[in-house]
A = this chain, B = another copy of it.
């Protein structure tokens, strides 16, 4: 949580941190510390045990004040950026500016720099700061910011829940439309158009727009064999046909920067035995891990439970790889159980065989087992839940039905 930043700094003996970027877009750490969106980004500087400072462009000053996260706000102009540019040149102005701010804030000792920034530029900045005497240090994962962002505040959970509710609305609308498709000249139709994956995706995008969500990474709507590849987003030309398995994985982002992640798998019409067996296997695997998850257990155990259920039903899982029994598996449960969701769509904590740390209250994770059969199709069922002391709490409730009929 946000309030953990100071403690995380203490543990790493960091006397100061700097989070920066030329925009908050695609910069989750900066979005997090400034408390929202700043079109031109800025520099967030925090001395250990002290109130942070935010330096923004003149244009973003008003917006920054409205975000209410940082109380001490000033502008690049007030810090004399233009003067520094004239004196040291454009490429050198920022290191000198930062040096000045760090001094004025009384930050001595180890400092870490954050924000998603072009690495070649970042390396130059760090090298210059070091030349000027600043003790810049790198970090391995989790960084201070990753560690803080890993557990969510009540306000963050509220925002994730709002995004979840909107996503659920979209999924319900799409399912309703799919349920009510009419057959014309032997083909299913969406209104007057043949029902294809492409047409459904347009519908999804329109429904997302209606609830003010965007899907910067797209949406997966894969039918039949294409659903057997967890990364296949679906072929626009594929017709929607009765009885064929669909994997519908939706991961939209709200204006606030928070994401949500949900997957349902189903067939339109009636399912055959094979689809039914896949669906029940994945559903049971998901329930086994959801029933198990709570504060204090580890991700690898949850992963293990899902794998055991799936293996008992005769499918292969990545457990074989971690046991050293196989180098890869051609079918079955080929990925990991889940990942954190917040200001990114994939962050700590992860639910994999490498996740040994006990899960903590207010972490938000996906639980998404899947089983894939090449040339046939796949089933993945995914919910995003909050870890609590007694179990998990769903961010959105969307029915899990095999047959849309």
Within 8 Å of chain B (Cβ to Cβ): is A399? no
Known contacts A59-B230, A206-B209, A209-B205; A123/B120 CB under 8 A: no
A99 contacts the other chain (CB 8 A)? no
Within 8 A of B (CB), among A122-171: 122-127, 136-141, 143-146
Which residue of chain B is the closest to A17 with respect to CB atoms?
A: B120
Q: Shortest Cβ distance from A127 into chain B, in angstroms? A: 5
| CB-CB under 8 A for A143 and B120, given A210-B202, A216-B214, A231-B59 | yes
Q: Does A354 contact B (CB under 8 A)?
A: yes
Once the chains bind, are A117 and B114 in contact (CB under 8 Å)? no
From known contacts A25-B217, A59-B231, infer whether A120 and B139 are also in contact, taking CB-CB under 8 Å: yes
CB contacts (< 8 Å) of A25 on chain B: these are 26, 216-217
> Judging by beta carbons under 8 Å apart, are A119 and B122 in contact?
yes
Query: Which residues between 84 and 114 of chain A lie within 8 Å of chain B, taking CB atoms?
Result: 90-91, 112-114
Chain B residues closer than 8 Å to A58, beta-carbon distance: 328
Which residue of B113, B136, B215 is within 8 Å of A214 (Cβ)?
Answer: B215
Q: Chain B: which residue is nearest A203 at the CB level?
A: B209
B-side contacts of A272, CB under 8 Å: none
Contact at A113–B120, with CB atoms within 8 Å? yes
Tell whether A301 is near chain B: CB-to-CB under 8 Å: no
Tell me whether A291 is interfacial, beta carbon within 8 Å.
no
Known contacts A26-B25, A90-B354; A118/B118 CB under 8 A: no
Cα distance, A26 to B327, chains bound together (Å)? 32
Give chain B residues whose Cβ lies under 8 Å from the Cβ of A229. 62
Q: A23-B346, A29-B118, A124-B139 are in contact. List 5 more A-B contacts (CB 8 A).
A: A25-B26, A59-B230, A116-B119, A120-B144, A123-B139
| A115: interface (CB < 8 Å) | yes
A134 to chain B, nearest CB (A): 12
A66 CB → nearest B CB, Å: 11
- Indicate whether A63 reaches chain B with its CB closer than 8 angstroms: yes
Task: Give every chain B residue within 8 A of A124 (Cβ-Cβ).
Answer: 138-140
Could you say which of B116, B214, B354 contacts A117, with CB atoms under 8 Å apart? Answer: B116
CB of A90, distance to nearest CB on chain B (Å): 7
Given known A214-B214, A218-B255, contact A143–B116 (CB-CB < 8 A): no
Q: How far is the CB of A2 from chain B (nearest CB, A)?
A: 17
Are B210 and A206 within 8 A (Cβ)?
yes
Whether a CB of chain B sits under 8 angstroms from the CB of A60 is: yes
Q: Which residues of B contact A116 (CB under 8 A)?
A: 26, 116-119
Q: Which residues of B contact A29 (CB under 8 A)?
A: 118
Q: Which of B114, B120, B335 contacts A118 (CB 8 A)?
A: B114
Q: Within 8 Å CB of A91, what residues of B?
A: 140-141
Q: Which of A246-304 contact B (CB under 8 A)?
A: 253, 255
Query: A218 to B354, alpha carbons, bound, how many Å?
Result: 38
A113-B119 in contact (CB<8A) = yes
Q: What is the distance, in angstroms, from A9's C-beta to the closest C-beta of chain B?
A: 12
Considering only residues 11-41 of chain A, those with a C-beta below 8 Å from chain B are 23, 25-26, 29, 39
Q: How far is the CA of A77 from the CA of B119 in the complex (A)?
A: 25
Can you show 10 pairs from A to B with CB atoms below 8 A apart? A29-B118, A112-B123, A120-B145, A121-B139, A121-B143, A126-B138, A127-B138, A202-B212, A216-B216, A218-B255
